[in-house]
Amino acid sequence: MNAPLRRLAVVAFLLFATLLVSTTWTSFVAAPSLNADGRNTRTIIEQAGRERGPIVIGDQAVAKSVPVQDVYGFLRQYDPGALYAHVTGYYSVIYGPTGMEQAEADLLTGTSDRLFYRRLSDLVTGREPKGATLELTIDPKVQKAAWDALGDQRGAVVALNPKTGDVLGMVSKPSFDPNSLAVHDAKQAAAARQKLLDDPARPLDNRAIAGRLYPPGSVFKLVTAAAALESGKYEPSSVLPGPATLDLPQTTVGLPNSGGRPCGPNNQISLADALRISCNTAFGSLGMDLGGDALGEQAQKFGFGEDLRIPLRVTPSSVPKDMNKPQEAQAGIGQFDVRVTPMQMAMVSAAIANDGVLMKPNLIRAARADDLSVISQPQPTELGRSVSPETAQKLTDMMLSVVNDGTGKAARIDGVRVAGKTGTAQHAEGRPPHAWFTAFAPADDPQVAVAVVVEEGGNAGDQASGGRTAAPIARKVIQAVMDR
């Protein structure tokens, strides 16, 4: 019986070998991801025991740690809470951090490798380690203007500096009070969280960059127009078919104009005018003529499909692949399965404003140590060229006419040349449309690119349109930038 006993001993050895592997896996290989899990209370308690650095917007600490007498030592406080809730996120000792609290946790807690030498000197001098101060690019005046203009409507506003990519404002409504989730009492935090999770308006969603994505509707015509101009086959003056209803091949359903009328005499219209009055049939036929691939490629150049960290994660926007002709026509006017974030539409305007060069959006101005020395300072980064400077100029002129003499008149500002585009996106049968507006200004020296979406028409309901509902909000945001 000795031979089988030896083999059984080998089996026992293999069982132990398996355990050596599995413990190595858990304690070493998978350890970093396990430690980063938001539910790992050990990491949270360890981090909470350290004084977390503040998050500063303008010259105000909108998130800061105050000492309290409990196991955690510090309580995170947000002031004003709801206005920046989606930017800062919240730091819950029970549910873990979200938003900027999570994205830059290493810097805020002082565990980042970038703080290595500082930690070393902390060790020598016996100083309590402190997290870095995070300064954001948000302009409080712009943020407040967007917040007030959106009012109690559901939706989002994004304002960018087109030349640097700095995020000047990022509002998502409805919002929430991060203080209610940052409390240390588990029951209170759970109740507050459950209430927010149960709210059908989904206040925890950051609609600006990461909510459920929206159909862009007519604001997407900027991408279609860009593709047309870049193809070399079209000029702003090129004549397009503009009937009341566009016949779609392979189907009995047509693509109608919103007013039910032709876009111009003889059912014809120029590309520039088609954008100005937002002619569906012209852009539908353009979509079919250019094809889905060309639309998709142009969209990609504007940042669609890009997995951005600003450093908050931006959900990639998308144009469907392998569309048939009717779907290409729908996609040409931003319908079918085209899905975007407000951030993405702001990026389209920003790229056109910046002579066709797309800058990477960014929320961080600088991270500073407590002696105010700069630890890191992101530099403006190009994501790539979206369109040629010539195309950018043509699109700018066309967008100017939208505001001066087209669907976007509500965004006009005296003395400021505003270039914009409206959108009114159908998203479900019998529901009010989403109202869109994206713009930049001033046209000759762009300071701000903005995108606004108002969900389901906001207060205007069925009567909503991009020009009527969203454009005035964009105007107030642009005004706030101009008044700085």
Nearest approach in angstroms of CB 37 to other proteins is 7
Stretches 8-16, 343-351, 391-399, 458-466: which one binds other proteins (CB under 8 A)? 8-16
Nearer to other proteins, 195 or 431 (CB): 195
Our finding on whether 27 is near other proteins (CB under 8 A) is yes
**Distance in angstroms (rounded) separating the CA atoms of residues 132 and 125:** 18
* Residue 439 near residue 420 (C-beta atoms within 8 A): yes
Q: Show Cβ contacts of residue 350 under 8 Å, excluding neighbours closer than 6 positions.
A: 160, 161, 162, 165, 358, 359, 440, 446, 449
Site string for other proteins, 36-75 (x = CB under 8 A): -x-xxxxx-x------------------------------
Tokens of 61: 């600490």
Our finding on whether 194 is near other proteins (CB under 8 A) is no
* Residue 419 near residue 353 (C-beta atoms within 8 A): yes
Please name every residue paired with 450 in a beta bridge, in sequence order, or none if there are none: 159, 439
Q: Which residues of 409-441 are buried (b: 16+ CB within 10 A; e: fewer)?
A: ebbeeeebbbbbbbbbbeeeeeebbbbbbbbbb
Nearest approach in angstroms of CB 191 to other proteins is 15
DSSP codes joined into one string, 372-390? --EEE-PPP-EEEE-S-HH
Our finding on whether 24 is near other proteins (CB under 8 A) is yes
Nearer to other proteins, 128 or 444 (CB): 128
DSSP codes joined into one string, 376-430? E-PPP-EEEE-S-HHHHHHHHHHHHHHHHHSTTGGG-BTTB--EEEEEEE--STT
Distance between start and end Cα atoms, the chain: 91
The gap from C-alpha 374 to its chain's centroid, in whole angstroms, comes to 27
* Residue 469 near residue 457 (C-beta atoms within 8 A): yes
Our finding on whether 197 is near other proteins (CB under 8 A) is no
Nearest approach in angstroms of CB 255 to other proteins is 42
172 is catalytic: no
* Residue 67 near residue 3 (C-beta atoms within 8 A): no
Nearest approach in angstroms of CB 47 to other proteins is 12
Stretches 14-22, 127-135, 167-175, 311-319: which one binds other proteins (CB under 8 A)? 14-22
Stretches 30-38, 139-147, 274-282, 460-468: which one binds other proteins (CB under 8 A)? 30-38
Nearest approach in angstroms of CB 128 to other proteins is 18
Our finding on whether 34 is near other proteins (CB under 8 A) is yes
Segment 304 to 343, residues that bind other proteins, using CB under 8 A: none
Our finding on whether 79 is near other proteins (CB under 8 A) is no
DSSP codes joined into one string, 315-356? PPPB--SS--HHHHHHHHTT-TT-BB-HHHHHHHHHHHHTTT
| Secondary element (H or E) of residue 9 | helix 2-24
Our finding on whether 3 is near other proteins (CB under 8 A) is yes
Nearer to other proteins, 37 or 397 (CB): 37
Our finding on whether 6 is near other proteins (CB under 8 A) is yes
Nearer to other proteins, 14 or 201 (CB): 14
Nearer to other proteins, 190 or 239 (CB): 190
Our finding on whether 23 is near other proteins (CB under 8 A) is yes
* φ, ψ dihedrals at 185, nearest 5°: -70, 115
Nearer to other proteins, 6 or 261 (CB): 6
Nearest approach in angstroms of CB 25 to other proteins is 7
Our finding on whether 26 is near other proteins (CB under 8 A) is yes
Nearest approach in angstroms of CB 20 to other proteins is 6
Residue (of 193, 196, 201, 200) closest to 153 by Cα position: 201
Of 180, 218, 386, 465, which residue is the catalytic one? 218
Our finding on whether 28 is near other proteins (CB under 8 A) is yes
How far is the CA of 200 from the CAs of 113, 154, 271, 432, in angstroms?
Answer: 41, 11, 41, 17
Stretches 16-24, 248-256, 425-433, 462-470: which one binds other proteins (CB under 8 A)? 16-24
Q: Under the rule (CB under 8 A), what is the footprint of other proteins?
A: 1-9, 11-13, 15-16, 18-20, 22-28, 30-32, 34-35, 37, 39-43, 45
The residues assigned a catalytic role are 218
